Structure 1
Amino acid sequence: MAWKETNVFEERMKFVVAWKRGGWSLTDLCHEFNISRVTGYKYLEQYELYGLDGLKR
């Protein structure tokens, strides 16, 4: 079985999409993505301020 190749931008996009779809608490979603809540809030804030370009920072 091959490893699935991904990059930081794609993972951040997946995080934001999952949040926008709803059904998650931020704590649970951050746990699922193995990031802290502080980081989760940072990604969401960057997305709100700058759109997809904010997720590249």
Structure 2
Amino acid sequence: MPWRELKPMDLKVMFIAEYLSEKHSFSRLCQDYQISRKTGYKWVERYELEGPSGLDERSRRRHNQTYVVPLVVRQAIIELR
């Protein structure tokens, strides 16, 4: 593993710094960093809303449970045990 490998946070900070300098077009900047424009816009939006902490890695885990067993069914299962 190279000792100068960039961490994801470092890459995002560098991207935002170049974006704020307005030296290149947004498309060119995304191309240079090998990210999609959608990802670039997501990083910029998070930075503008939350500041540098908005660039932290986020969990990809679902935030809600898609299927919840109704209380009546749970009680019936418990009674059967």
Q: Does 1:11 align with 2:14?
A: no
TM-score, normalised on structure 2?
A: 0.65
2:56 corresponds to which residue?
56
Per-residue deviation at 1:15?
0.2
Q: Which is higher, the Rg of structure 1 or of structure 2? A: 2
**Larger RCO (alpha carbons 8 Å, 6+ apart):** 1
1:13 alignment partner AA? V
What's the C-alpha RMSD, in Å, of the aligned pairs? 1.3
Q: How many residues align?
A: 56
More helix by share: 1
Per-residue deviation at 1:23?
1.3
Structure 1 stretches of 5 or more lacking a match? none
4+ residue runs of structure 1 moved beyond 3 angstroms? Answer: none
